[in-house]
A = this chain, B = another copy of it.
């Protein structure tokens, strides 16, 4: 809005000229103001203002060798669990004066590799990625660029990249044990697409060889509330009704819960339902969801610290295992105790639609 502003953005030289000092002095008032005489500083600052000068990030980066941002690759933002990880990463990164570039991969290794390439291209100083199964192009990119990259949501000290995460198999087993401890033997397992998701596969594998050996039936659906509803309906149509539903993800558990209610099945009286994740909302569902807590906020912060320190010290961080633990709430109950009382079933069937 100044006079007939000369089209182009002002640069250091312009400011220096306008203030009648050298470029070095201008640079100093930005980076070490205390080394510049007060009067000079003032002149320079005025010049900066009147020219609407904003330092060029690129020029700064080329000298410092730092862009001050890192990238994160997650499957989706629509599952609150990833949103949580990113939120905590972002806030922790801020303490290192680092920003976060987000890219979603939709669980597709090809997209993941492409987006990773994009992040490297724009100058990310480090990367966070979910899981331990990636495209060869991804690995070669990391190799070539030597980019500090940590893998999350999975703990595997033998993996080629440092992992910061939890033991997915153990978490699933914890949930199963809780159910068998309560006397459940016929159990429906609901999970998302396993082909494209190594965390899901690990969780499923954690269910194997359990003792006592339960009778498990598997339902694979989309990883969404709608998917959970679908599974809930499918379970009710099965020949042998399970007494409990083990969901390998809280979103799925929510859907199952809603659908069971819609169909007039009471939880935990007629069926127990357990989740895995412990989303912030899970504690407030009706009934409050029993689940296995995954420390995703801590994980995001830990990943941020690991990347920041790697970038700064050049030292590869150690893998880190975060514990998960069972949170017993209201959606699971001992089998048989109240069983046989189809509580409120009739009263509820006319609800909804």
| Residues of chain A having any CB pair with chain B under 8 Å | 9, 49, 52-59, 61-62, 65, 67-69, 71, 76-78, 80, 83-84, 86-87, 90-91, 94, 97, 99-104, 115, 118-123, 143-146, 224-226, 228-229, 251, 254-255, 257-259, 261-262, 266, 269, 280-281, 283-288, 330, 343-344, 347-348, 350-353
Docked complex Cα distance between A115 and B86 (Å): 16
Docked complex Cα distance between A225 and B279 (Å): 11
Copies per complex of this chain: 2
Residue of B55, B90, B143, B352 near A288 (CB, 8 A) is B352
Find chain B residues with CB under 8 A from A228 CB.
284
| Contact, CB under 8 Å: B62 / A56 | yes
| Contact, CB under 8 Å: A123 / B286 | no
A119 in contact with B102 given A78-B83, A347-B344, A351-B287 (CB within 8 Å):
no
Query: Which B residue sits closest to A269, measured CB to CB?
Result: B351
Given contacts A52-B144, A259-B286, 7 further A-B contacts (CB under 8 A): A58-B61, A58-B65, A67-B122, A78-B84, A262-B287, A287-B351, A287-B352
Query: Which B residue sits closest to A353, measured CB to CB?
Result: B330
| Contact, CB under 8 Å: B61 / A86 | no
Docked complex Cα distance between A146 and B94 (Å): 24
